[in-house]
Amino acid sequence: MVLTRKQRIAQQFGKSAKRYDHAAQVQADIGFDALQNVPMQGNRALDIGCGTGRLTKILAQRFQSVCAIDLSAGMIEQASINNAASTNIDFSVADAESIPFGDSHFDFVFSSMVLQWCDPISNSFQQAYRVLKPGGRGVIALLSEGSMHELKSVWHALGESKRVNTFYHHQHLVDEIQQVGFVLEHQQKRYITYHADTMSLLNSVRHVGASAIPKETGGAMLTRESIRQMDKVFVANFGHHQALPLTYNVSFLRVTKPS
């Protein structure tokens, strides 16, 4: 059976669910930064792409009730286990591009490191707008252009220019979300992780479910020799104090639905 792009994404994240929190430190850093823009109290919130529920737990301390959705059944299962003691969270498997709640249902929407996988991005923005009450607010953090540029450069040098996922430009995200109707405040922030070698760098991406090698590109399987070549190019171009950097450019979008 040939899986769709969404099915592959859900499957990848599902496989990583049990070890995600251990492997995804940069995702945690980004998520906690996004939480700085969340109100300290409120009524009803939606967590779009909740993953293991690590951030959902904090939202549940601030809101009377939280609905948390994720495309991956494996992530929802792990999130339910991690938050078994919480009585005000409802977890469900759902798509950010087809949110299963009525119009004007939530006071706040939150999403961290998820919506970059939606294509076109406008669908998920429209859904977030639809389920927010007039006057409702939200915080969305997602990868934008320039993320993983080191890896993209290395692949290009080795003749594999389509091996890395591409991300929307920050201004494109701003334009799209304003077109939906949101009033917007925005900023872009850079995060850099460091890795001992190419294999550990690739594993850091794979272990959080978001494979840096899209299967539809049809690239050849990695071999010991290809890894050796990647190491050589990576060190020559990006070696930094005996470590290899990987950049994450993150767009933070603070939105309000007009009353």
What domains lie within the chain, and their CATH numbers? 5-147+166-193+248-256 (3.40.50.150)
**At residue 179, does pLDDT exceed 50?**
yes
Q: What is the mean pLDDT of residues 220-243?
A: 84
Confidence of residue 24 (pLDDT cuts 50, 70, 90): low
Confidence of residue 18 (pLDDT cuts 50, 70, 90): low
pLDDT of residue 2: 42
pLDDT of residue 226: 84
pLDDT band at 242 (very low <50, low <70, confident <90, very high): confident
Q: Is residue 46 over pLDDT 80? A: yes
Reading the block at residue 81, the tokens are: 């286990």
Residues 6+ positions from 61 with CB-CB distance below 8 Å: none
The values of phi and psi at residue 119, to 5°, are: -145, 115
Q: What is the mean pLDDT of residues 141-163?
A: 87
- This prediction has a pTM of 0.88
Task: Render pLDDT for 63-89 as a digit per residue (tens, 0 to 9).
Answer: 999 999 999 999 999 999 999 999 999
Q: In percent, how much of the chain has pLDDT > 70?
A: 83
Task: Look at residue 212 in the predicted model and tell me its pLDDT.
Answer: 44
- For residue 209, is pLDDT > 80? no
